Amino acid sequence: MTFNKKRIYLSSPHMSGHEQKYIAEAFEQNWIAPLGPNVDNLEKTIADYCGVRHVAALSSGTAAIHLALILMGVKPGDEVFASSFTFSATVNPIVYQGANPVFIDSEKETWNMDPELLENALADRKRKGVIDRVKAIIVVHLYGMPAKMNEILDVANKYNIPVIEDAAEALGSKYKGKLLGSFGNVAILSFNGNKIITTSGGGALLSNDEEFIKKSRFLATQARDNAPHYQHSSIGYNYRMSNVLAGIGRGQMAVIDERVKKRREIFKIYCENFMDVEGISFLSEPDEKYFSNRWLTTILIDSLKTGITREDIQKELEKENIETRPLWKPMHLQPVFEKYSAFVNGVSESLFDVGLCLPSGSNMSNEDLFFVIKTIKSVLK
Ligand SMILES: *Cc1c(COP(=O)(O)O)cnc(C)c1O
């Protein structure tokens, strides 16, 4: 029966084989601490890869967003504009700061923040005389697809508001030939277990601003002043990455391009196999400016045309021990964020209603991939 079938995951950790060498080094040198050679090396590797000058390796992507907001001076009563179509980790740190998220809906081409809605939202705050309260804009590159950065940066610059790129799902994706994470004033990455590469848990803050990254390291190590004793003049956090985990990160960064290539191949195979099915559609790269790492392949199911729903597919796949997940439920529809403002056009809600993430891990065998495809086709009959 199906229960003894091995589970096919959405995205599971995929080790390169180089990780244990760096972990062993950490043990040999006794750098079992939230600093050390693996951390330094990983930071440099990420900076070189993404084309930014400075990187701080941290305990999570969420911690990276939190530090970015603190350093941008986000305080109680301030506003931070953020993509509504995302994982809650993007916006939770806004609330940690006592500030108010303002949710911006998506455009249809990339599913990311709609630059026109962003402009409307900022114009609204300006008209009301409260534009000074808007401290930052967090733009997410969902499922690895680059947001419309040209347009978004134009609007942000017009109102002089700093941009945080949430590239947690988008390491290895490019916009106009440049790696994501290099467009915002700062950017964040995540190395959680299900991301394109992992340190089991971890994240990073990226910026060309050296002072910003220096300050983030200071805050991430309990804000200890430069004094012979333990002295503190600000509130600190324990957000640095362990040197052992950074060893995993080094082994993973060695294969990032291979991982992107494999995820893009998986996406292509799904597309080819459902190309002729009316009512099943994929998110395509709008033009040659956009290069997605295809972290997760997502499908939209038009139930009028296919006669089946997202839930029908999900149920059938689950019976075969195949993991799927509905698209992220937009933040403006989440009970916990109900009371905050939102600028909405219906796009993310309608995507959420009919969208499904399919198994996309770079360690998935072709046999597993074609089994997923076959199972979906069996529901479509
Ligand atoms: C995973 C993720 C994060 C948070 O990263 P963690 O390392 O899990 O804290 C933030 N934003 C998005 C869009 C994510 O997918």
The pLDDT tens digits for 12-51 are: 999 999 999 999 999 999 999 999 999 999 999 999 999 9
Looking at residue 106, its pLDDT comes to 98
User: How far does the centroid of ligand 1 lie from the alpha carbon of residue 140, in Å?
Assistant: 10
The model's pTM is: 0.97
Question: Ligand 1: which residue has its CA nearest to atom 6?
Answer: 61
Residues 53-70 have pLDDT tens digits of 999 999 999 999 999 999
Residue 58 Cβ < 6 Å to ligand 1? no
pLDDT at 2 over 80: no
Token representation of residue 135 = 């401290």
Residue 355 Cβ < 6 Å to ligand 1? no
CA 187 to chain centre: 10
Looking at residue 5, its pLDDT comes to 80
Question: What CATH number does domain 256-380 carry, 3.40.50.300, 3.90.1150.10, 3.20.20.140, 3.30.70.3280?
Answer: 3.90.1150.10
Residue 90 Cβ < 6 Å to ligand 1? yes
Residues 193-231 have pLDDT tens digits of 999 999 999 999 999 999 999 999 999 999 999 999 999
Rounded mean pLDDT, 318-345: 98
Residue 239 Cβ < 6 Å to ligand 1? no
The C-alpha atoms of residue 332 and residue 50 are separated, in whole angstroms, by 31
CA 294 to chain centre: 12
User: How far does the centroid of ligand 1 lie from the alpha carbon of residue 129, in Å?
Assistant: 33
Fold: same for 19-253 and 256-380: no
The C-alpha atoms of residue 130 and residue 134 are separated, in whole angstroms, by 8
| Residue 8 phi, psi (nearest 5) | -100, 115
User: How far does the centroid of ligand 1 lie from the alpha carbon of residue 167, in Å?
Assistant: 8
pLDDT at 344 over 90: yes
Confidence of residue 4 (pLDDT cuts 50, 70, 90): low
Residue 89 Cβ < 6 Å to ligand 1? yes
Helix, strand, or coil here: 102?
strand
| Residues in Cβ contact with 272 at an 8 Å cutoff, skipping those fewer than 6 apart | none
The C-alpha atoms of residue 135 and residue 211 are separated, in whole angstroms, by 18
Residue 325 and residue 357 in contact, taking contact as beta carbons nearer than 8 Å? yes
pLDDT at 1 over 60: no
144: left (phi over 0), alpha (psi -120 to 50) or beta: left
Residue 86 Cβ < 6 Å to ligand 1? yes
Identify each DSSP E strand in 4-149 by its residue range.
Answer: 54-58, 79-83, 100-104, 134-140
Fold annotation for 19-253: Aspartate Aminotransferase; domain 2 (3.40.640)
Residue 135 and residue 99 in contact, taking contact as beta carbons nearer than 8 Å? yes
Question: Ligand 1: which residue has its CA nearest to atom 14?
Answer: 168
- CA distances 104 to 82, 101, 128, 197, 358, Å, are 6, 10, 18, 28, 26
Q: Break the chain into its structural domains and give their ranges.
A: 19-253, 256-380
User: How far does the centroid of ligand 1 lie from the alpha carbon of residue 127, in Å?
Assistant: 33
User: How far does the centroid of ligand 1 lie from the alpha carbon of residue 380, in Å?
Assistant: 33
Tell me what the pLDDT averaged over the chain comes to: 97
The C-alpha atoms of residue 219 and residue 223 are separated, in whole angstroms, by 4
Residue 115 Cβ < 6 Å to ligand 1? no
Question: Ligand 1: which residue has its CA nearest to atom 5?
Answer: 61
